[in-house]
Amino acid sequence: MKYLMLIITVFLFTNNTFSQNTIIADHVQNFKLDLKKSSQSSLFFSENIALTVDASASFSTIAVFVDAPFSGNLQYQLEGQDWQSLSRYHEANHPTRAIFELLFLPKKNTSIQFKSDQGLPADLSVRWLTLTTTDQIQHNTSSTREDCDCPQPDICGRDCWCPSGNCPTDPTPVATVPSHIIVHHSGSASVSDDFPAVVRSYWDFHVNINGWDDIGYNWLIDGNGIVYEGRGSGTQGAHFSCMNAETTGICMIGNFETATPAPTAISTLEQLIAWEACDKMIVPADSSNHITSGALLAHISGHRDGNDLPNSCSNTVCPGENLYPLLPTIRQNVRDKACLNELVSTTEINQIPFEIFPNPSDGHFQISGDLNQIADLQLFSQTGQKAHFIFNENGILNIKVSGLFILKIIRQNGTAATHKLLVY
Ligand SMILES: [Zn+2]
């Protein structure tokens, strides 16, 4: 029986290989560099590493980190170029590792050297990833959502941006019901239009350098307006300064501190937000309490809106000074989409409050407020599954099993509020 299974496995693998034409995996080289003090200055220098690319390469990336707390300034020099500063990775929240922004290098043989104004507490770790040219892109344009008129944008799924199959999903994904949509930029200046390969480089950086379980974002959008599925819908990501529950993260690929986002990419962002907002009943132009950050937050926010919130673990300029000011217009444009007509309301969300007590409870909660304003109640478990409950005209909510739940109160005016309920 074992032999039979082995034969079947080999056959499936072979068949898969043929069906995807010639898939060549991306190539990784890791270096550990000891920065030595110069005899002529107070600076510390690494050796010069040769970087030789092969014909199948699209571009390459350099990820740099130190496996210890390090506050010094690092610079790098490519062959024939001036020294340039390496900035800290803007999404980093690693407890012990000092991580720098991902560098993108064009397809060209070169060499790289590093220098520091301080001695390093550990070797400098350098990961050189050569991305193989992506020659197969299959977008999925079919919509699968019920009760939602907002069309699905073109989506390049994981099979599309990682055709070799070497970019696995989080083995233990955490489900979440997003109440807020967080907009990011990728920060690094990409040198390539091979965006599936760019997404693979982020996956590698997030998983192998940051130590995350998967690419951090739920979705990414390239300069041509194509959407890439990262963690996808309803899965908790790693993108919002340690306050990821109840959010979905969309990354606009590019550095919008310096560049300006393409109109077609903004148009896709609005379409993707509408599609998600429709499915999750998120009112685009409103604000509500975001449970995990413990603060009132616009439903469509930028990453930097999380700065200084009570539970934030980092500070950032993301999504950049040329994208962040566009968010008010993006909220209005999404709000004005006809497919969201039923969801949209100009009523301020806090004008119709509901209180729920006691919380925690043994399963019997009292909802107080104008009960006539409740259009629907939805209850979700921590894993995002719909949960059973009983609700009567006196506002008594009964949950018969213990656990942590998210209650969504949908008002007659189309707005919604979420509450975390604990049943012991
Ligand atoms: Zn961000």
- 113 CA → ligand 1 middle, Å: 29
Q: Say if residues 99 and 51 touch (Cβ distance below 8 Å).
A: no
User: What domains are defined for the chain?
Assistant: 27-132 (2.60.120), 155-340 (3.40.80.10), 349-423 (2.60.40.10)
Contacts with 209 (C-beta within 8 Å, 6 or more apart), sequence order: 63, 65, 97, 99, 127
- 257 CA → ligand 1 middle, Å: 12
Contacts with 309 (C-beta within 8 Å, 6 or more apart), sequence order: 241, 243, 293, 294, 295, 297
How would you classify the pairing of strands 124-132 and 36-37?
Answer: unpaired
Q: How many residues are there in the chain? A: 424
Contacts with 80 (C-beta within 8 Å, 6 or more apart), sequence order: none
- 162 CA → ligand 1 middle, Å: 22
- 117 CA → ligand 1 middle, Å: 28
Phi, psi torsion values for 196, nearest 5 degrees: -55, -40
Q: What is the DSSP string of 196-225?
A: HHHHHHHHHIIIIIS--SS-S-SEEE-TTS
Report how far apart, in Å, the C-alpha atoms of 227 and of each of 22, 162, 380 are.
24, 14, 28
- 102 CA → ligand 1 middle, Å: 14
pLDDT at 142: 54
Least confident of 10-19, 219-228, 242-251: 10-19
Render pLDDT for 388-404 as a digit per residue (tens, 0 to 9): 999 998 899 999 998 88
In the predicted structure, residue 10 carries a pLDDT above the cut 60 = no
- 92 CA → ligand 1 middle, Å: 10
Report the alpha-carbon distance of residue 191 to residue 61 in Å, rounded: 10
- The overall average pLDDT reported for the chain is 86
- 357 CA → ligand 1 middle, Å: 36
- 185 CA → ligand 1 middle, Å: 6
- 238 CA → ligand 1 middle, Å: 10
- 96 CA → ligand 1 middle, Å: 20
- 90 CA → ligand 1 middle, Å: 7
- 305 CA → ligand 1 middle, Å: 10
pLDDT at 136: 64
Q: Is the peptide bond before 328 cis (omega within 30 degrees of 0)?
A: no
pLDDT at 4: 38
Average pLDDT over residues 16-36: 70
pLDDT at 384: 66
Percent of the chain, pLDDT > 90?
58
- 203 CA → ligand 1 middle, Å: 15
What's the pLDDT band for 6 if we cut at 50, 70, 90?
Answer: very low
- 234 CA → ligand 1 middle, Å: 19
- 239 CA → ligand 1 middle, Å: 6
Phi, psi torsion values for 230, nearest 5 degrees: -90, -110
- 17 CA → ligand 1 middle, Å: 36
398 is written with which tokens?
Answer: 């009964």
- CB burial of 186-211 (b: ≥16 within 10 Å; e: otherwise) equals bbbebbbebbbbbbbbbbbbbbebbe
- Position 242, amino acid: C
Report the alpha-carbon distance of residue 299 to residue 283 in Å, rounded: 7
How would you classify the pairing of strands 300-302 and 180-185?
Answer: parallel
Render pLDDT for 130-178 as a digit per residue (tens, 0 to 9): 999 887 666 765 555 667 789 889 899 998 999 889 999 999 999 999 9
- 206 CA → ligand 1 middle, Å: 13
Render pLDDT for 66-122 as a digit per residue (tens, 0 to 9): 999 999 999 999 999 999 999 998 777 788 899 999 999 988 999 999 999 999 999
Beta bridge partners of 75: 85, 115
How would you classify the pairing of strands 355-357 and 390-391?
Answer: unpaired
Report the alpha-carbon distance of residue 151 to residue 144 in Å, rounded: 10
Render pLDDT for 311-355 as a digit per residue (tens, 0 to 9): 888 889 999 999 999 999 999 999 999 888 776 554 444 556 788
- 197 CA → ligand 1 middle, Å: 20
Q: Where do the H-state alpha helices sit in 263-326?
A: 263-280
Report the alpha-carbon distance of residue 368 to residue 359 in Å, rounded: 13
